Amino acid sequence: MVVAGQVSALDSYFDDLEHDRKAEIQALRLLILDAVPGLSETLKGTTPAFARGDAERIAMRLQPGNRVQLILHRGTKAGADDLFRFEDPDRLIAWAAPDRGVITICDAADLAGKSEAISQVLRRWVAMTTR
């Protein structure tokens, strides 16, 4: 696990990444690291993931095709906590499960338009799910 700001295998991963939307992916990585200071980043298989301590809470989904998504989760196993609620006033999140959300980035303009709202969501998500 590498703390944000250190040169890492993830830097090499992003340098070597062949993806139609590489610029957006790199911008999204910086947005994540800026939005939630102190996150560490790892590669889970071929997926960039971000954690606070041992609690991974954000992952990128870049496949299939030219997909760019953020997966917000509360751990590797879906939770059965019927009481979990997360407010999403900007309606950025598509809920794949009650505690697993997906934010889709359609293109560079979409990322630019959503950046501030994504930053706010990520800060609240990590704070709420790593207590």
Look up tokens 């911008």; give the residue.
27
Q: How much is the pLDDT for 1?
A: 46
Whether the CB-CB separation of 23 and 12 falls below 8 Å is answered with: no
Cα–Cα distance measured from residue 45 to residue 38, given in angstroms and rounded to the nearest whole number: 22
Exposed, middle or buried by CB within 10 Å (0-12, 13-18, 19+), for 17? middle
**What are the strands, taking DSSP E only, across 32-99?**
40-44, 47-52, 55-61, 69-72, 93-97
Cα–Cα distance measured from residue 46 to residue 83, given in angstroms and rounded to the nearest whole number: 32
Q: How much is the pLDDT for 98?
A: 80
Whether the CB-CB separation of 67 and 61 falls below 8 Å is answered with: yes
Give the N- to C-terminal CA distance of the chain in Å, as an integer: 20
- Tell me the whole-structure pTM to 2 decimals: 0.86
Q: How much is the pLDDT for 92?
A: 95
Q: How much is the pLDDT for 2?
A: 47
Tens digit of pLDDT at every position of the chain (131 positions): 444 444 566 888 888 888 999 999 999 999 999 999 999 998 888 889 999 888 889 999 998 888 999 999 987 665 555 667 888 889 999 998 888 899 999 999 999 999 999 999 999 999 988 76
